Structure 1
Amino acid sequence: MENSTKEHELVLQGGRTIAYATSGNASSTTVLLYLHGAFTIGETSRVSRTLAAKDIHHICPTLPGWGNTSPPPSSTSYVDCLTSDVTALLDHLYPDRGRDIRLYVAGGSFGTVPAQILYGAPYDKFPYGPCIVGVLLMGALTPFRYHKDYAKHMTWSNYFGVGPMSQWPLINRVSMGLVTFMIARQVSTVDKADKFLRGFLFDKMDAAEREEYAQWRAKEGIAEGETERRFAENTVRSVQTSWEGFKLMSSVLHADWGFQPDALDEEHSRPFVMLVTSPGDKQAPQAGTEYLAATYKNTKVKTLRGGHIGILYYMDEVWGEFLAGVE
């Protein structure tokens, strides 16, 4: 079994670096590729009991521009950079049997964007595409280019930050600089990031979710404040090297992801797609999940209580249901 707390770095031709973490059986050809959300990094320090009980190699790369992973070169699109990075990483970890792997792709929040990009990528761009057997999208975001009603359910901050207003060049330059400056001050240390995340996420829980959160912590043996601290530490690490990952989010959401969701061929539509949503999630509105469920083939929707991090309390159940759906 691998050390799940160690971060590895793979240096690519041309000098770019991919940071990643792994856990589980490194020789297993059953692979879970997990893609993280905003303001965090690829890490595997807490793996669901459901996954830990399986013979799975759990791989979590840090996305381009976050943490110690280099941003895309100026001459390369995010989509091409992502597919190339993940291909190189899997080639590195599976030099002999790479194309024989059974690949699960999962993502949470913004991480559902790269998960969908890999799912729909042409096989000449992502040669591991035929290996994908299941896709798990938790708190999914949609391809704004095709989801015409995406902005109707956005918070005002997201409407300006990554929504329609973010595509106005002057507003984008001014707002992005201002938002980056403001957030940078609040996540410059772990203590400050802890306070920021409590105000942004944890303090906004209603009474019912607070009780669920407390019960989850008790069941998992997690001390009060431990999860907040871990999130804060990863937030600081995610932007210590660069803010490019954050700055790219709006353009990636509005970009051409390399495929049209409702026009995927039969082979690309083969994998099981499970979507998990929460009605109280304001950052990834339930309407986005409904759009994807009606657009992709072979889908299943699971609705849970809670807000943006509510899925966290049900991860054992979610992974179990997802793996059973694939099998």
Structure 2
Amino acid sequence: MAIISTTSTAPTSSMEEVLKLPDGRTLAYSHSGPSDSKLVLIWFHGLFSVGDAANPPKPIRERNALFIAPTLPGWGNTSPTLPGKTFAETVVSDTLALLEHLRPQPSNDSLRIYVAGGSFGTVPTQIVFGAPYDRFPYGRHIVGMLLMAPFSPFREDVNYRKGLCWRDWISVGPLTRIVPGRMVQRLMKSALAGKVRDVASAEAFLQKEFFADMDEEEKARYAAWRERTGERGGGVPAKDGGGDGEERERVVGGIKEFDEEHARKPVVLALGRGDTSLRGMAKFLQESYKNVRVEEYEGGHLASAWSMDEVLEEMFTAGGD
């Protein structure tokens, strides 16, 4: 897909590339925009997705920003976490290695970084946002965060399970931590395998999950989004529920323990009014982060995606860009 031209002569790319990491793993990623841009947006995808920066939304293009979309550990062509390593420390080290590769940092650099993600992707987004600077030096350049249909850190949000629909309660609720041997996750994997055994089955599964219950207003916003972005069918991130509850419980350090520099950075929350399972988690985040804005949209889990340009403008405005 075409990238709007910039005045920079630095190379741009939208094809997936693979970076060999110091720990022997591989990290798949996509990026577009000028590699020497002072403005960077890192987007973390959700489940059933991979990093894709091929079609940056208008607010990113207009600002000539470098748009980076890594593929998370264990998804697509990115290696899983190594034995003995947590998801959190792997995400931080992978993101650090990718930035050092794509955007080496001069000592006098005026770099400005935003981190963003949707649904499960809000988990790694919060990990990187809150990472200590000694582990993630680029964190000093983070100026804002966007969380769309966000998950809260389960270790801190002790009431996260309240308000979950029964399906989400099973997939990410207390059972995922109580039942030994990660049996719940294994059963879910088996149940999903048949639903995504090929492209046709996967498309039917996702259509049923996310589009069957849309009301007329959300259908209209979705249709406008498709027209605006040129999506013909599919092209929509799958619902990012489910996954490994044990990892989610420990992915984020204490939000309430942030130092002053971390705490003052703006956070934008975007969610659908009908996404009942995540409303309680969003409320917890709203009460926990010190500098937060909330944007709500009519619709369900994907509601904010149909207003991506508007949400990104809100993020950039909050961060001063």
Same fold flag (TM > 0.5): yes
Residues 202 and 247 (structure 1), Cα distance of their counterparts in 2 relative to 1, 3 Å cut: closer
* Alpha-carbon distance in 2 for matches of 1:59, 1:213: 25
Paired residue type of 1:315: M
Match of 1:297 among 277, 290, 297: 290
Check the 8 A contact 1:113/1:141 in 2, yes or no: yes
Q: Which residue of 2 aligns with 1:281?
A: 275
Q: Find the counterpart in structure 2 of residue 325 from structure 1.
A: 318
- Hey, what's the Cα distance between the residues in 2 that align with 1:222 and 1:83? 32
In structure 2, C-alpha distance between the alignment counterparts of 1:33 and 1:178, rounded to whole Å? 33
Question: Runs of 5+ in structure 1 lacking a partner?
Answer: 236-244
Structure showing greater relative contact order (alpha-carbon pairs closer than 8 Å, 6 or more residues apart): 1
Describe the shift of the 1:15–1:319 C-alpha distance in structure 2 as closer, same or farther (beyond 3 A): same
Is 2:177 the counterpart of 1:167?
yes
1:265 matches 2:262: no
Letter in 2 for 1:186: K
- Check conservation: 1:9, 1:17, Cα contact below 8 A: yes
Q: Which runs of 5+ in 2 are unaligned?
A: 1-10
Q: What residue in structure 2 maps to residue 238 of structure 1?
A: none
Deviation of 1:45 after TM superposition, in Å, equals 2.6
1:93 aligned partner: 102
Counterpart residue type for residue 61 of structure 2:
A
Identity %: 37
Q: Deviations over 1:50-91 (max 9, x none)?
A: 211112000000011111111111111111111111111111
Q: Which runs of 4+ in 1 moved over 4 A?
A: 245-248
User: Match for residue 184 of structure 1?
Assistant: 193
**Displacement of 1:99 after TM fit?**
8.1
TM-score normalised by length of structure 1: 0.88
Measure the CA separation in 2 of the matches of 1:110 and 1:300. Answer: 20
* Aligned residues between the structures: 308
Name the SS for the 1:312 alignment partner.
helix
- 1:128 pairs, out of 127, 138, 161, with 138
User: What SS does structure 2 have at the residue aligned with 1:153?
Assistant: coil
Deviation of the 1:216 alpha carbon? 2.8
Aligned mates of 2:266, 2:88 — CA distance in 1: 22
Read off the aligned partner of 1:22 and give its amino acid letter.
H
How far is the alpha carbon of 1:247 from its aligned partner?
Answer: 8.6
* Helix, strand or coil at the partner of 2:128: helix
Task: Give, as a single letter, the amino acid of the residue that structure 2 aligns with 1:39.
Answer: F
- Asked if 1 retains the 8 angstrom alpha-carbon contact of 2:34 and 2:66, the reply is yes
Indicate the structure with greater helix content: 1
The 8 Å contact of residues 22 and 58 in structure 1, kept in 2 or not, is answered as yes
- Please list the CA deviations of residues 212-263 of structure 1 after superposition, one character each: whole Å capped at 9, or x if unmatched: 222333344443xx2x2x34xx87xxxxxxxxx9996312211252x21112
Question: What is the deviation of 1:126?
Answer: 1.3
Partner SS for 2:262: coil
Partner amino acid, structure 2, of 1:255: R
The two structures, once aligned, show a CA RMSD in angstroms of: 2.1
CA distance in 1, matches of 2:107, 2:80: 25
* Partner Cα separation in structure 2 for residue 209 and residue 301 of structure 1: 19
Equivalent residue letter for 2:190: F
